Amino acid sequence: MQLRVWALAGLVVLATVLQTSLVPFLQVSEVRPDLLLVLSLAVGLTFGPREAGWIGAAAGLCEDFLSGRQVGLFTASLALVSYLMALAGQKVYREHVAVPVMAGFVGTWMLHVVEATLSLVGGIDSNWHLMGLPTLLEAGANAVLTGLAYGPVRRLEGLFSRGGRYVAGRRPGAWL
């Protein structure tokens, strides 16, 4: 399996672990950042829509399993939002720092809307009641975090785009 897939899978695991064991400590009232969304958006802006869809689906599936909710709800929502945001990201100049920040902000709102809509259609309790100030604050937090995560993910993409393979014990500049 390609190194890139392993690296992205590792990022999903890391984000899942941090989301379940670190973020609860940062939560204020019902507002907490969504690291899985942040990762999906950063990967989507960097690698493209296809990777964004897969990463979103994998991260969403992890969250569905760990949260005990209806399996598929967050999987579909996150995959869709990541894909769409990555698609939109292809139309803009991605080097600008405002792009990932805006993606984090808009992506959060979009995720809540998609999730609530799917819940409504699927006959599941929706989270419409959280729309408003909590979502606004969460969107702000996610925007900042997406802006912070974008740089490292791009550097990671830079390593893979050189088309080489990693040689143990050598610095990144020594990729063959």
Partner 1 sequence: MRRLIRDRRLWAVVVGMVAAAVALKLSPDVTPRLAPIGALLQEALAPLQRVTFRASAAVRDAGGYLVDLPRLRRENERLRAQVEHVDILESQLEELRQENRRLNELLGLKARLDVASRRLLAARVIGRNPDDWFSYVMIDCGKRDGVERGMVVITAQGLVGRVTSVASHAATVMLLTDPQSGVGARVQRESSQAQGVVLGQKGRGDLLKMKFFLHDADVRRGDRIVTSSLGEVFPSGIPIGIVTEVVDGEGGLVREAWVKPLVAFNRLEEVLVLGARGREGG
Binding-site ranges for partner 1 (CB under 8 A): 13, 16-18, 20-22, 24-25, 49, 62, 65-66, 68-73, 76, 80, 83-84, 87, 114, 117-118, 121-124
Q: CB of residue 71 vs partner 1: minimum separation in angstroms?
A: 5
CA 10, CA 2: separation in Å to the nearest integer? Answer: 13
Cα-flanking dihedrals φ and ψ of residue 88, to 5°? -65, -35
CA 144, CA 121: separation in Å to the nearest integer? Answer: 32
Measured from the CB atom, the residue of 68 and 173 that comes closer to partner 1 is 68
Q: CB of residue 18 vs partner 1: minimum separation in angstroms?
A: 6
Measured from the CB atom, the residue of 25 and 93 that comes closer to partner 1 is 25
Measured from the CB atom, the residue of 83 and 105 that comes closer to partner 1 is 83
Q: CB of residue 127 vs partner 1: minimum separation in angstroms?
A: 15
Q: CB of residue 2 vs partner 1: minimum separation in angstroms?
A: 22
CA 40, CA 60: separation in Å to the nearest integer? Answer: 9
> Which tokens go with 31?
């507002």
Coarse DSSP helix, strand, coil percentages of the chain, rounded to the nearest 5 percent: 75, 0, 25
Q: CB of residue 168 vs partner 1: minimum separation in angstroms?
A: 24
Assign residue 123 a region (left: φ > 0; alpha: ψ between -120 and 50; beta: otherwise). left
Measured from the CB atom, the residue of 122 and 158 that comes closer to partner 1 is 122
Measured from the CB atom, the residue of 91 and 165 that comes closer to partner 1 is 91
